[in-house]
Amino acid sequence: MAKEDGDAAERSPYLSHAIAGAFRDATERRLFQMVTSSPVPQHLAIIMDGNRRFARGNGLLIHDGHVQGKEKLEELLNWCLEVGVRVLTVYALSTENLGRPPEELDPLMELFAESFRRIAVDERVHKNRIQVRAFGNLALLPEFVREAIATAENATSSYRDYHYNVAIAYGGREEIVRAIRHLASEVRAGRLEPEAIGPETVSKEMYTADLPDPDLIFRTSGEERISNFLLWQSAYAELYFADVLWPGLTKVDFLRALRAFQDRQRRYGG
C-alpha cells in the first residue's frame, strides 16, 4: 500500500500537468470559436514588451530573451492569420532603445537582419500574400539591417492581402514632427494652403498613410502606457494591457485580448 501511495505521489505532478494542459487546450478552443464568430480587429498593433525581464526572471542572457521574443513573434503571425487579422503592426525598437549598450544592441541588430532575411523567403508570407514593411528613422540603423529590410520589402511589395509592419528605430513624436516639417515645406513652396491642412492631410503624411488606423493596441508586460507608439493613429484605438511578459505570451492570452476588444462598444469622440 505504501508503495502504491509512493507511485501515486510520483505520478501526481505529471497528472496535474496533463490536467492543466487539457484545460488550457479546451479554453483555447472555446476562445477561438468565440473570437472567430465575431469581427476581429482589422488592424492590430502590439507593443512587445518584456524580453529583458523574461530573460532575467528565467536565468537567461538578455540576448536569449530577445531570441525568444522573436520566436514568439513567429507564433503571433500564425495566430493572426488563423483568426483573420489583416494588418499587424509590431513595435520592435524605439528610438530611445538605440541608446542601449552595444553589447545588447549589436546582437539585436543581427537578429533583426536575420529576421527580415528569413521573412523574405517565408512560405507563409508568399502563400498569404503578406506585404512586409518597416518604418521609423531607418537611417539610424546599420547598413546591413537596412539591406535586410529592403530584401523583405522588395520581395513582398506587390502583395496586399495582409500587411505586416515592423516599427523599428521608431518614435511617435518624431513621426509627427516629420509630417509637420514636410507640410511646412509644402506651404513655404506655395503648393499647399495652411487652411487646407486637416486631419486627413496629416494622416497622409504618416508611415501608415495607406492603412487603416489600429483598432486595438495590445501591450504585454503589465505596463499600462503606449510609450510613444502610433500617437497620431491611436486616437480612437481600444487599449488592452496584459500582465504577461512578451516571450511568455500564450495563444489564450492573445485570444482573450481579441475577445475583450469584441466585447467593447467602440465610441468615437467620447
Residue 120 and residue 151 in contact, taking contact as beta carbons nearer than 8 Å: yes
The amino acid sitting at 38 is S
Segments of the chain scoring below 50 in pLDDT? 1
pTM of the predicted model as reported, rounded to 2 decimal places:
0.90
Cell numbers that stand for 188 in this block: 513655404
**pLDDT tens per residue, range 8-57:** 555 566 656 677 677 788 999 999 999 999 999 999 999 999 999 999 99
Pairing of strands 87-94, 162-170: parallel
Written as one letter, the residue type at 10 is E
pLDDT of residue 71: 97
Instruction: State yes or no: is 58 an active-site residue.
Output: no
Confidence (pLDDT) at 24:
81
pLDDT tens string 56-66:
999 999 999 99
User: Residue 28 is placed in which grid cell?
Assistant: 483555447
Catalytic residue among 64, 97, 228, 253: 97
Contact residues for 91 (Cβ-Cβ < 8 A; gap 6+):
45, 46, 47, 48, 167, 170, 227, 229
DSSP bridge partners of 231: none
Query: In angstroms, rounded to a whole number, what is the distance separating the alpha carbons of residues 73 and 152?
Result: 16
Cell triple for residue 149?
529590410
The residue behind cell 499600462 is 224
From the list 5, 7, 25, 49, the catalytic residue is: 49
pLDDT of residue 269: 61
161 is catalytic: no
